[in-house]
Amino acid sequence: MKCSKWGGTAVIKMRQHRRRLCANHFVEWFVSMTQRTIEKHGMFGHADRVLVAVSGGKDSLALWDVLLRLGYQVEGMYISLGIDEDLGYSDTSLAMCRRFVSAHHPEAVLHIVDVEKEYGQPIPTLARTKRRGRGKPCSVCGLVKRHVMNRLARDGGFAAIATGHNLDDEVAVLMQNTLHWQTGYLARQAPVLAEREGLARKVKPFVRIYEREAAAYTLIRGIDYIYDECPYAKGSTTNFYKDLLNQLELRSSGAKQQFYLQFLRARDSGSMSFAAEQGIELHPCRQCSQPTTAGDLCAFCRLWE
């Protein structure tokens, strides 16, 4: 297999782009695709400070690496959830983030928030205590992560939070929301979620990157990452949709990309519109002052009561 650019040995075939690239040209393409996505959606500029949420996985570490190489002012944020099942998932994830810094960017800043140390309980125990999530702590976990990320971004004066969501993640959520006609979620699904009354701006610079491309990038760059998923992700609905979409992609290359990009185009052109959270007002929580739609206390503060 030959590189489409110069005839050397290709290491990856990207059928949806009709390209085969060698290691050097692939890394060049990957970085430039991320830069084009940041510019196209006006995510942030070089004068902005950006907080990148890292989990120790391939997507978030690849994103941190690319943003640093592009010269953006990015700092990493790792939230230790206290998930110890499967040989200490949280500890291994943190070790991967630390190894990334020491091996690739020793000057990079990594903020670490340990949920148990800061708030008193790890996520699985908290979910069990509150009897939330039917055996899985994911709803509690999502709530805590959103709160902590927003607090760090607000207190640290960051212009945006960047996450490593890739095209496969976005398409799986899009399919799920479309099949269930979750119009509120469809309205909010976008590469950029604007800042709103104390809620930090959120951006996804990898929305044009397939998951296998992020994996290839980390491999070529020699970035170690945690291969295993969170033990609670096993059997998740998102993974089920990802499998379905991969089968579709095998039959029709570019199907995932088409689905996602056409959705964005239709929405941006106004040919499809959803009523987005109109009339829902945010106000500061009495305890933590983060924005909430609930009464006196936000869902996070109620969780710890």
For residues 175 and 283, what is the distance between their CA atoms, to the nearest angstrom?
A: 32
**Of 117, 131, 133, whose CA–CA distance to 82 is shortest?**
117
Closest separation in Å from C-beta 149 to ligand SF4: 13
- Give whichever of 22 and 76 is closer to ligand SF4, judged by the CB atom: 76
Closest separation in Å from C-beta 183 to ligand SF4: 23
Closest separation in Å from C-beta 124 to ligand SF4: 8
The rounded Cα 288 to chain-centroid distance in angstroms is 25
- Contacts with ligand SF4, residue ranges (CB under 6 A): 137-138, 141-142, 230, 232-233
- Give whichever of 194 and 233 is closer to ligand SF4, judged by the CB atom: 233
- Give whichever of 137 and 205 is closer to ligand SF4, judged by the CB atom: 137
Closest separation in Å from C-beta 226 to ligand SF4: 11
Q: Which amino acid is at 161?
A: I
- Give whichever of 23 and 123 is closer to ligand SF4, judged by the CB atom: 123
Contact 171, 179 (CB under 8 A): no
DSSP code, position 200: P
- Give whichever of 145 and 221 is closer to ligand SF4, judged by the CB atom: 145
Closest separation in Å from C-beta 115 to ligand SF4: 11
Closest separation in Å from C-beta 65 to ligand SF4: 21
For residues 113 and 146, what is the distance between their CA atoms, to the nearest angstrom?
A: 13
Residue in the block written with tokens 């949280």: 90
Contact 226, 60 (CB under 8 A): no
For residues 286 and 138, what is the distance between their CA atoms, to the nearest angstrom?
A: 25
Helices (H), ranges, 189-227 = 211-221
**Of 3, 47, 37, whose CA–CA distance to 23 is shortest?**
3
- Give whichever of 137 and 191 is closer to ligand SF4, judged by the CB atom: 137
Closest separation in Å from C-beta 232 to ligand SF4: 4
- Give whichever of 243 and 296 is closer to ligand SF4, judged by the CB atom: 243
CA dihedral 236, 92, 51, 241 (to 10 degrees): -20
Sheet with 192-193, strands from edge to edge, namely: 110-114, 73-80, 49-53, 160-162, 202-203, 192-193
